[in-house]
């Protein structure tokens, strides 16, 4: 099952720099592990924003929820999920 997921990051301005660095490092490691495993198929930065659009390829809604709610940055994200299906005009 494919999903487009938009994540907008809103870290508190008063977050201690060390805590911010730790969160971002843990987020990167978590994301890269899922990318290596194939469930996090794409991640793109939205130009000019601290936001991304990602494509997930997972077995179920429950698995996507598990992945998203496990993100270290989860408390600081606004997340929008769009389920995808094949477009009839797609050539691949």
Ligand X SMILES: O=C(O)C[C@H]1C=CC(=O)O1
Q: Is 5 in the site for ligand X (CB under 6 A)?
A: no
Q: Residue 27 is inside which H or E element, if any?
A: helix 17-37
Q: What are phi and psi of 91, to 5 degrees?
A: -100, -5
Per CB under 6 A, the segment of 11-19, 23-31, 58-66, 81-89 that binds ligand X is 23-31
Q: Which is nearer to ligand X, 52 or 55 (CB)?
A: 52
58 vs 8: CA distance, rounded Å: 21
Neighbours of 5 (CB within 10 A): 19
Q: Which is nearer to ligand X, 3 or 31 (CB)?
A: 31
Q: Which is nearer to ligand X, 30 or 91 (CB)?
A: 30
Q: Which residues on neighbouring strands pair with residue 54, listed in sequence order?
A: 5, 43
Q: Is 27 in the site for ligand X (CB under 6 A)?
A: yes
The site for ligand X (CB under 6 A) is made up of 7, 9, 27-28, 31, 43, 52, 73
């Amino acid at each position: 099952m494919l999903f487009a997921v938009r994540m907008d990051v809103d870290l508190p301005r008063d977050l201690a720099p060390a805590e911010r660095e730790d969160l971002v490092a843990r987020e990167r490691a978590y994301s890269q592990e899922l990318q290596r495993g194939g469930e996090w198929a794409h991640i793109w930065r939205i130009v000019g924003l601290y936001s991304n659009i990602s494509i997930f390829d997972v077995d179920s809604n429950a698995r996507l929820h598990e992945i998203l709610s496990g993100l270290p940055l989860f408390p600081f994200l606004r997340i929008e999920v769009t389920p995808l299906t094949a477009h009839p005009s797609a050539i691949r």
